[in-house]
Amino acid sequence: MAEKRVIVVGAGIGGLAAALTLAARGFDVTVLERADTVGGKMRSVAVGPVPVEAGPTVFTMRWVFEELFFEAGASLAAEVRLQAASLLARHAWSAGERLDLFADIDASAEAVSAFAGPREADGYRRFCARAAEVYRTLEGPFIRSDRPNPVELGKRVGLSGIGDLWRIQPFATLWSALGDHFRDPRLRQLFGRYATYCGASPFAAPATLMLVAHVEQSGIWTVEGGLSQLARAVADLAERRGARIRPSAHVARILTQGGRVAGVQLADGERLAADAVIAGGDVAALGAGLLGPDVAAAGDRVPPRERSLSAVTFCLHARARGFPLAHHTVFFSADYRAEFDTILRGRRLPPDPTVYVCAQDRDEMVRAPEGPERLLVLVNAPADGGERRFTPQEIAACETSWTRKLAACGLSLNSAAPATVTTPDGFSGLFPGTGGALYGRASHGWTATFKRPGARTRVPGLYLAGGSVHPGPGVPMAAQSGRLAAAALIEDLASTPTWRGAAMSGGTSTR
Ligand SMILES: Cc1cc2nc3c(=O)[nH]c(=O)nc-3n(C[C@H](O)[C@H](O)[C@H](O)COP(=O)(O)OP(=O)(O)OC[C@H]3O[C@@H](n4cnc5c(N)ncnc54)[C@H](O)[C@@H]3O)c2cc1C
């Protein structure tokens, strides 16, 4: 059988995982990436001369990458240097209110008890058990499997699992479910924040998202060089397995012939033939027709108000004083509901934001570096970047708000160079079709999870991967979507022995 030609559009982690899997299985794979480097959201930016990680910083669900590398004949540990964190994150509400969570549940329970009393510590233990149950119920039938509809999910968990499915409270919001475990509003806020890992509001996200708490509790690792290096490592291995990766190649159209995918056309007019295409950008781009009319129906039309959260990120090289930053530190707003109302209903940046700071040079010992250090500061924002520009005044006001929040907790930052800022309109430009939404469609309401498309589309030969696709956003989940897309493609090929090689009329394939 001749090698089948597969084109992957986009070198985000979903596209790269698919490319690696397929290249290792002997497919002829070409990855086309519009940016000048791989990784998509797993990127670093320059702050003066210093590269600072500007995307994901929390690495979890390591098993996804262990399996991905293993199946490609390599080992994650040999390709990437990971260090397990025992301190998961530091949380602060004011100068005197601080809570650390640890990988060790007993250590966290002790910290919760000292912070909010023994009853809350009991609630914390019950919450961890429930979050673990939710995760266990969904890992096999949901995360590892093709996108189910609710009935199929019921079938997959089987009769014995129906009780488990019911107990995970699919119809409750995360916020209301947290009320079963915590009386202290600060703890509800801390664990409610896990909804934002999928770009959702805890007041609208289903309680099932508490599984994120279990995922974190099961382990966080720091990646040497940052998560952009993990993407680089997947790309390197894919190339060693024979994939070609072409940066600065913007795909303007996915081409079809006789209703089946036949290749792609780049923005400069070049055409490449393919037997199959995996679209690794946001599915909203497909739905909006940004990859041509032939494949628009394969995408998702996501109205702005159904998009997940965006962010404003500030990458800094600065001296931090007055507060012992951990690798991950969260500074919470005084009123979480008002914060989400401002963002999601008011479509504005909140005057009192919750602020995430990643102190990238700090290790487990929370030692401050001698000089300036690399910091990512992130606040949530409405994903209206496709519709409007966030003005310099808005961004300056946002910076004042988070600086005030940090100062109230004792932290002052003294920058060595101007910050590199990315706004929702900046993200919208980087990731077409998204309006700046960083996690696809918002996971609001119990049906939202099932609205994400799966790997297969209605266009034969076209597959989907990435954080806007099942099983969802986040580095490991997006990588998992790439593995699922590759598996679907391989399965379809096996069941279609006469799968024809593509021939494009008038095409000028370079290969
Ligand atoms: C600031 C920030 C912080 C985050 N924090 C975390 C975290 O701590 N932990 C975590 O797990 N996740 C986090 N996430 C989410 C995580 O980064 C994403 O869910 C994941 O990286 C998305 O991967 P993806 O496969 O969807 O591809 P993307 O990263 O979305 O990349 C898609 C790629 O496709 C390319 N592309 C699009 N259209 C075309 C085209 N027409 N032609 C060619 N190329 C195209 C784009 O240029 C891009 O490179 C964060 C995201 C951001 C932005």
Closest CA to ligand 1's atom 2? 55
**Which uninterrupted H or E stretch holds 316?**
strand 310-321
Higher pLDDT: 126 or 503? It is 126
Q: What is the pTM of this model?
A: 0.95
Ligand 1: centre distance to CA 181 (Å): 33
Name the residue among 165, 168, 86 with its Cα closest to residue 127.
168
At residue 503 the predicted structure's pLDDT band, cuts being 50, 70 and 90, is very low
pLDDT at 415: 93
CA 209, CA 274: separation in Å to the nearest integer? 38
- Mean pLDDT over all residues of the chain? 92
pLDDT at 150: 77
Closest CA to ligand 1's atom 50? 56
- Ligand 1 pocket, 332 CB below 6 A? no
pLDDT at 338: 98
Reported as a single tens digit per residue, the pLDDT across 462-495 is 999 999 999 999 999 999 999 999 999 999 988 8
Whether the pLDDT of residue 501 is over 50: the answer is no
CA 207, CA 192: separation in Å to the nearest integer? 9
Closest CA to ligand 1's atom 13? 56
**Which uninterrupted H or E stretch holds 475?**
helix 475-494
Give residue for tokens 């920058």: 415
Closest CA to ligand 1's atom 1? 55
- Ligand 1 pocket, 424 CB below 6 A? no
Q: Beta partners for 118?
A: none
- Ligand 1 pocket, 55 CB below 6 A? yes
Ligand 1: centre distance to CA 12 (Å): 5
Q: Hey, which bits of 97-243 come out as E strands?
A: 97-102, 221-223
pLDDT at 168: 64
pLDDT at 350: 97
The closest-lying atom of ligand 1 relative to the alpha carbon of residue 427 is 53
What six digits make up the tokens of 190? 């801390």
What six digits make up the tokens of 431? 């990731």
Candidate of 41, 43, 378, 443 to mutate for ligand 1, largest count of ligand atoms within 8 Å of Cβ? 41
Ligand 1: centre distance to CA 440 (Å): 10
Whether the pLDDT of residue 382 is over 60: the answer is yes
Ligand 1: centre distance to CA 239 (Å): 20
**pLDDT, mean of residues 95-124:** 97
Backbone angles phi, psi at 131, to 5 degrees: -65, -40
Reported as a single tens digit per residue, the pLDDT across 224-247 is 999 999 999 999 999 999 999 999
CA 273, CA 275: separation in Å to the nearest integer? 7
At residue 104 the predicted structure's pLDDT band, cuts being 50, 70 and 90, is very high
Give residue for tokens 């994650």: 76
Give residue for tokens 């806020």: 189
Distance of CA 220 to the CA centre of its chain: 15
**pLDDT, mean of residues 66-83:** 97
The closest-lying atom of ligand 1 relative to the alpha carbon of residue 13 is 25
What six digits make up the tokens of 372? 């300036």
Give the single-character DSSP code of 142.
Answer: I
pLDDT at 366: 58
CB of 367 closer than 8 Å to CB of 308:
no
- Ligand 1 pocket, 473 CB below 6 A? yes
At residue 140 the predicted structure's pLDDT band, cuts being 50, 70 and 90, is confident
What six digits make up the tokens of 267? 């923005």
- Ligand 1 pocket, 93 CB below 6 A? no
Whether the pLDDT of residue 144 is over 60: the answer is yes
pLDDT at 475: 98
Q: Beta partners for 6?
A: 29, 276
Closest CA to ligand 1's atom 16? 474
Name the residue among 340, 330, 417, 410 with its Cα closest to residue 377.
330
